[in-house]
Amino acid sequence: MFKAYTMQKISIIVPTYNERENITLLIEKLAGVLKGCEYEIIVVDDNSPDGTAEAAEALSKTLPVKVLRRPGKLGLTSAIYDGVKLATGEYIVVMDADLQHPPELVPKLVEKLAECDIVVASRYVEGGGVENWSFTRRVISLGAVYASRILIPECRRVKDPVSGFFAARRSTLLGWRPLAPMGYKALVEILAVTKPRRLCEVGFVFRGREKGTSKLGSRQVFSYAKLLLLLGFRRLVLIAIIFLILIVLISVFYP
């Protein structure tokens, strides 16, 4: 149940590709937790061949669901951006369609927006965690977190800057334009570009996928590395210059 101060319109953005098995249940669960609120669910579908868009559109007859059909796989970050442009709510929530992001957490994220510009659903704070992850998956996730915190100063302000589950004020996101539209870690971009003044985190347990297949692969890993290089280029150049200056000073004073 939402408190009075959260009675802003809420826009839930759900990027999808081949999530027909999950999208109906997700929308129904969201409708349950958002009952009594003004809200919209925006499904941004990248031409899923399994009929994800059709399943979501069928629910739009009875629920406030919008479906944006895109011509192909254009990237998760650009899907989120297109959803933001279509959103009419002041409070925006971004989440996956595979039910690994619990819909029950949405009210808590939205309520925290009363005091924050961006609220991150975090696996790495109190109350957070992951289910059924292999050792390799854990290493990849933590590596992605630490790489972003090393290269992007804004990412050091949260424990889980690579989370795909977050809420933000619409006014905060208006200053964001995707630097890597085909990327998969939109939050890293958003933090780096918008530099929000007030950041909060809420712990959640990242659930194991029950239906469908994971989208994580080598393409996503390389895309993320490219994003970090793009965002951290100036910092890398500065580090290189400092390193060269130190080498010169050492060679001069300690020949």
- Residue 29, C-beta contacts closer than 8 angstroms, at least 6 positions apart: 99, 103, 104
Task: Write the pLDDT tens digit of every residue in 95-116.
Answer: 999 999 999 999 999 999 999 9
| pTM, full prediction | 0.85
What is the reported pLDDT for 5?
Answer: 45
Quickly list DSSP for 25-53.
HHHHHHHHHTTTS-EEEEEEE---TT-HH
Give the CATH number, domain containing residue 153.
Answer: 3.90.550.10
Alpha carbon distances (Å) from 145 to 41, 140, 174, 222:
29, 9, 25, 15
- Alpha-carbon distance of 161 to 83, in angstroms, equals 20
Domain range enclosing 179: 4-253
What is the reported pLDDT for 181?
Answer: 82
What is the reported pLDDT for 135?
Answer: 86
- Alpha-carbon distance of 105 to 208, in angstroms, equals 16
What's the structural domain count of the chain? 1
Task: Write the pLDDT tens digit of every residue in 10-28.
Answer: 999 999 999 999 999 999 9
Confidence of residue 207 (pLDDT cuts 50, 70, 90): confident
The answer to whether the beta carbons of residues 201 and 158 sit under 8 Å apart is yes
Model confidence at 4: pLDDT above 50: no
Task: Write the pLDDT tens digit of every residue in 72-98.
Answer: 989 999 999 999 999 999 999 999 999
Query: How crowded is residue 196: how many other Cβ atoms within 10 Å of its Cβ?
Result: 21
**Lowest mean pLDDT segment, chosen from 29-33, 149-153, 214-218:** 214-218
Task: Write the pLDDT tens digit of every residue in 57-66.
Answer: 999 999 999 9
User: Interior CA angle at 225 toward 144 and 85, to 5°?
Assistant: 90
**Lowest mean pLDDT segment, chosen from 38-42, 125-129, 174-178:** 174-178
